Structure 1
Amino acid sequence: MRILIVSGVRHARDYVPLLRSLPGIEVIGCADTADSPFAEDSADLASTTGLPLLDLDQGLASCDVALVCSEPTRHVDLAVRALEAGRHVLVDKPAATDTRGAQRLWEAADRSRGLLSAVHRLHSPQIARARRLVDSGAIGLPLAVDAEWIAAGGLDGTTVERPELVCDPALSGGGELVNFGWYPALAIRHLTGLEVEEVVAFSSAAPHAPLFGGPHGTYGVEDAAVLSLRLRNGVVATATVARAPAGVGPAPVSSSLRVLGSHGHVLADEDAPSVTVRAADGGRLSRRIGGPAGVTALRRLFTEFGDDIRLGRTPLVSAADIHAAVAVVEAALSSARQDGAPVVPAARTADTTVA
Structure 2
Amino acid sequence: MRILIASGVRHARDYVPLLRSMPGIEVIGCADTADSPFAEDSAALAGATDLPLLDLDQGLARCDIALVCSEPTRHVDLAVRALEADRHVLVDKPAATDTRGAQRLWDAADRSRGLLSAVHRLYSPQIARARRIVDSGAIGLPLAVDAEWLAAGGLDGATVERPELVCDPALSGGGELMNFGWYPALAIRHLTGLEVEEVVAFSSAAPHAPLFDGPHGAHGVEDAAVLSLRLRNGVVATATVARTPAGVGPAPVSSTVRVLGSHGHVLADEDAPSVVVRAADGHCVSRPVGGPAGATALRRLFTEFCDDIRYARTPLVTAADIHAAVAVVEAALSSAREDGVPVAPAARATGVA
TM-score bracket for this pair, using the shorter chain length: over 0.9
Query: Does residue 171 of the first structure (1) align with residue 168 of the second (2)?
Result: no
Matches within 5 A, 1:146-225: 146-225=146-225
1:237: which partner in 2?
237
2:124: which partner in 1?
124
Matches within 5 A, 1:72-91: 72-91=72-91
3-state secondary structure, aligned to 1:17: helix
Letter in 2 for 1:117: S
Cα 1:283/1:93, change in 2 over 3 Å:
same
State which drifts further: 343-352 or 134-143. 343-352
1:334: which partner in 2?
334
Aligned counterparts of 2:87 and 2:156: Cα–Cα separation in 1: 36
Kept in 2, the 8 Å contact 1:154–1:246? The answer is no
Aligned counterparts of 2:246 and 2:157: Cα–Cα separation in 1: 14
1:102: which partner in 2?
102
3-state secondary structure, aligned to 1:7: strand
1:319: which partner in 2?
319
2:43: which partner in 1?
43
Aligned counterparts of 1:161 and 1:193: Cα–Cα separation in 2: 34
1:7: which partner in 2?
7
Letter in 2 for 1:167: C
Q: CA RMSD in A?
A: 0.6
Aligned counterparts of 2:223 and 2:57: Cα–Cα separation in 1: 37
Runs of at least 5 residues in structure 1 that lack an aligned partner in the other structure: none
1:161 deviates by 2.2
Report the identity percentage. Answer: 89
- Deviation per CA, 1:166-191, whole angstroms, max 9, x where unpaired? 00000000000100000000000000
2:24: which partner in 1?
24
Kept in 2, the 8 Å contact 1:189–1:195? The answer is yes
1:252 deviates by 0.2
Letter in 2 for 1:61: A
1:116 deviates by 0.1
Question: Across the two proteins, how many residue pairs are aligned to each other?
Answer: 353
1:282 deviates by 1.4
- The TM-score normalised by the length of structure 1 is 0.99
Aligned counterparts of 2:246 and 2:52: Cα–Cα separation in 1: 38
Deviating beyond 3 angstroms after TM superposition, the runs of 4 or more aligned structure 1 residues are: none
Aligned counterparts of 2:351 and 2:188: Cα–Cα separation in 1: 27
Kept in 2, the 8 Å contact 1:223–1:243? The answer is yes
- Deviation per CA, 1:191-230, whole angstroms, max 9, x where unpaired? 0000000000000000000000221000000000000000
Kept in 2, the 8 Å contact 1:83–1:114? The answer is yes
1:311 deviates by 0.7
Query: Does residue 301 of the first structure (1) align with residue 292 of the second (2)?
Result: no
- Deviation per CA, 1:108-141, whole angstroms, max 9, x where unpaired? 0000000000000000000000000000000000
Aligned counterparts of 1:246 and 1:119: Cα–Cα separation in 2: 25
- Deviation per CA, 1:51-80, whole angstroms, max 9, x where unpaired? 100111010000000000000000000000
- Deviation per CA, 1:85-123, whole angstroms, max 9, x where unpaired? 000000000000000000000000000000000000000
Letter in 2 for 1:335: S
Aligned counterparts of 1:346 and 1:136: Cα–Cα separation in 2: 32
Letter in 2 for 1:191: L
Letter in 2 for 1:128: A
Aligned counterparts of 2:224 and 2:48: Cα–Cα separation in 1: 34
1:310: which partner in 2?
310
- Deviation per CA, 1:222-249, whole angstroms, max 9, x where unpaired? 0000000000000000000000010010
State which drifts further: 275-284 or 122-131. 275-284
Aligned counterparts of 2:21 and 2:255: Cα–Cα separation in 1: 26
1:272: which partner in 2?
272
3-state secondary structure, aligned to 1:333: helix
1:154 deviates by 4.0
Query: Does residue 53 of the first structure (1) align with residue 53 of the second (2)?
Result: yes
2:68: which partner in 1?
68
Runs of at least 5 residues in structure 2 that lack an aligned partner in the other structure: none
Letter in 1 for 2:305: F
3-state secondary structure, aligned to 2:8: coil
Aligned counterparts of 1:168 and 1:213: Cα–Cα separation in 2: 16
Kept in 2, the 8 Å contact 1:216–1:223? The answer is yes
